[in-house]
């Protein structure tokens, strides 16, 4: 694999929280700091294009070393949090074909940016 994408729907105790975010490792990750720059660039590109395409709130890139799916990656990695299923408005969008197509198109555009830079 050239990259690793994990796609999730987020959740929060506060049902008003909404938006799209991505996660990647930190530059000090003890397992894979060597892929930080590529993972961050991947996370930024995907997030930028998803938010633009979906019209969602940009919650930014969260750098963390607490996720096993990130820590054990050997290739650039991002976790995509499409939106909050605990937010009634966002959850209603997430289940529609139209919104899912916007999500997919945003991811694809972000990947094109990542691979063509």
How many whole angstroms separate alpha carbon 71 and alpha carbon 18?
A: 26
pTM above 0.75, yes or no: yes
CB-CB neighbours of 49 under 10 Å: 20
Task: Encode the chain (117 residues) as per-residue pLDDT tens digits.
Answer: 999 999 999 999 999 999 999 999 999 999 999 999 999 999 999 999 999 999 999 999 999 999 999 999 999 999 999 999 999 999 999 999 999 999 999 999 999 999 998
Cα–Cα distance, 45 to 42 (Å, whole number): 5
pLDDT of residue 59: 98
């Amino acid at each position: 694999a050239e990259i690793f994408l994990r796609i999730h729907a987020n959740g929060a105790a506060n049902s008003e929280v909404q938006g799209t975010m991505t996660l990647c490792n930190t530059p000090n990750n003890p397992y894979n700091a060597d892929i930080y720059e590529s993972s961050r660039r991947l996370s930024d590109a995907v997030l930028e294009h998803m938010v633009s395409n979906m019209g969602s709130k940009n919650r930014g890139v969260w750098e963390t070393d607490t996720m096993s799916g990130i820590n054990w990656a050997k290739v650039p990695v991002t976790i995509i949090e499409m939106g909050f299923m605990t937010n009634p408005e966002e959850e209603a969008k997430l289940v529609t074909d139209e919104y899912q197509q916007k999500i997919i198109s945003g991811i694809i555009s972000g990947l094109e940016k990542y691979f063509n830079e």
